[in-house]
Every structure is written in structure tokens, then in C-alpha cells.
Amino acid sequence: MKIGKFKQTQTRNGGQNAPLSTPAAVPEVNGSRPTFKPVTVLEDLQAVRCAEFHPNGKLYAVGSNTKTLRICTYPKIDDVK
């Protein structure tokens, strides 16, 4: 998962942004070091301050300065190919 640049997106429910999914794939090999493509990109009006990953590998949580905590699931691998 890539968490990095965040920009303003369309809002819903009082200004909270919806997570955006982007197509991605499995790691690609570039020489001897693999590179990874993002599976999901989350955007928020303010900075994202924390991310935690559930041990089962199916859920993750993201908290931001907007005092929003998002609990998310990863997209199905079939959907990102």
C-alpha cells in the first residue's frame, strides 16, 4: 500500500473524502530490487498521521488530522490485475 501524496477530492457526508482505488499489480522485478505498485490510494483534506495493519492481512486503519479513522479492506487481487 502506498500512503503518500494527498490531494483534495470530491467530498461526501459533510466533507469527508472517500478512498480511491487504483488498479495495480504484484511486485515487478527491476534489476535485483523489486518495485511495488500501489494497490490502494487514500486521499484526505489534511495529513494522514498513522496507519496500522491487522495481523490477518485483510484490514488496515488510517487516521488523519481531520479526526477521521478509516478501517479499510484491501481490494481483491482479481480486481487489480
- Flag whether 73 is in a domain: yes
Mean pLDDT of 43-70: 91
Mean pLDDT of 43-67: 91
Nearest to 39 by CA among 78, 68, 8: 78
Any idea which of 7-21, 30-44, 45-59 has the lowest mean pLDDT?
7-21
pTM (whole model) above 0.85: no
By DSSP bridging, strand 20-21 and strand 40-41 are antiparallel
Say if residue 5's pLDDT is above 60. no
- Flag whether 67 is in a domain: yes
Count of domains observed in the chain: 1
**In whole angstroms, what is the distance from residue 37 CA to residue 26 CA?**
7
- Flag whether 32 is in a domain: yes
Any idea which of 4-8, 26-30, 61-65, 67-71 has the lowest mean pLDDT?
4-8
User: Contact 32/23 with Cβ under 8 angstroms?
Assistant: no
Which residues does residue 71 pair with via DSSP β-bridges, in sequence order? 61
Q: What percent of the chain has pLDDT over 70?
A: 58
